């Protein structure tokens, strides 16, 4: 089925480890986004991508790395995880730039860093 898939759904890791969260969409949307959701903060934009090989920072990019070699994939990497990065991470995609087209969200990854 068409959609946006995140993996894993849950992840526990230790401080200092590298962890990669995966995001895959089948709509061929040009735009993809990563958000983190924390209590008391709603969702905040980490990084976004306008197309393959084009990425840009959002509101809270520090400590994260993204890449987009293919249109359908947009992985998010924490190169050295810290406890403050414990959160729920959402990937989203949409057509067009700065548009009224809704962003379609994955089901999220709950990441715990011990």
90 binds other proteins (CB under 8 A): yes
Sheet architecture: strand order including 19-25:
4-7, 19-25, 76-78, 64-66
Residues 17-76 that bind other proteins (CB under 8 A): 31, 33, 35, 40-45, 48, 50, 56-59
CB 109 within 8 A of CB 7: yes
User: By CB under 8 A, how many residues form the interface with other proteins?
Assistant: 27
**Which one of the spans 12-20, 64-72, 75-83, 97-105 is the region binding other proteins (CB under 8 A)?**
97-105
Beta partners for residue 76, in sequence order: 21, 66
Q: From the CB of 39, what's the least distance to other proteins, in Å?
A: 9
Largest CA distance in the chain: 39
For residues 58 and 41, is the Cβ–Cβ distance under 8 A?
no
Q: Is there binding between residue 105 and other proteins (CB under 8 A)?
A: yes
Residues that bind other proteins (CB under 8 A): 31, 33, 35, 40-45, 48, 50, 56-59, 88, 90, 92, 97-100, 102-103, 105, 107-108
């Amino acid at each position: 089925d068409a959609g946006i898939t995140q993996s894993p759904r849950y992840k526990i890791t230790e401080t200092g480890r590298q962890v990669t969260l995966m995001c895959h969409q089948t709509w061929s949307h040009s735009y993809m986004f990563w958000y983190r959701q924390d209590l008391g903060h709603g969702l905040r934009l980490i990084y976004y991508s306008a197309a393959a090989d084009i990425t840009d920072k959002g509101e809270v990019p520090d400590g994260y790395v993204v890449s987009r070699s293919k249109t359908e994939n947009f992985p998010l990497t924490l190169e050295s995880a810290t406890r403050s990065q414990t959160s729920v991470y959402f990937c989203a995609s949409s057509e067009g730039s700065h548009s009224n087209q809704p962003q379609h969200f994955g089901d999220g990854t709950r990441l715990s860093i011990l």
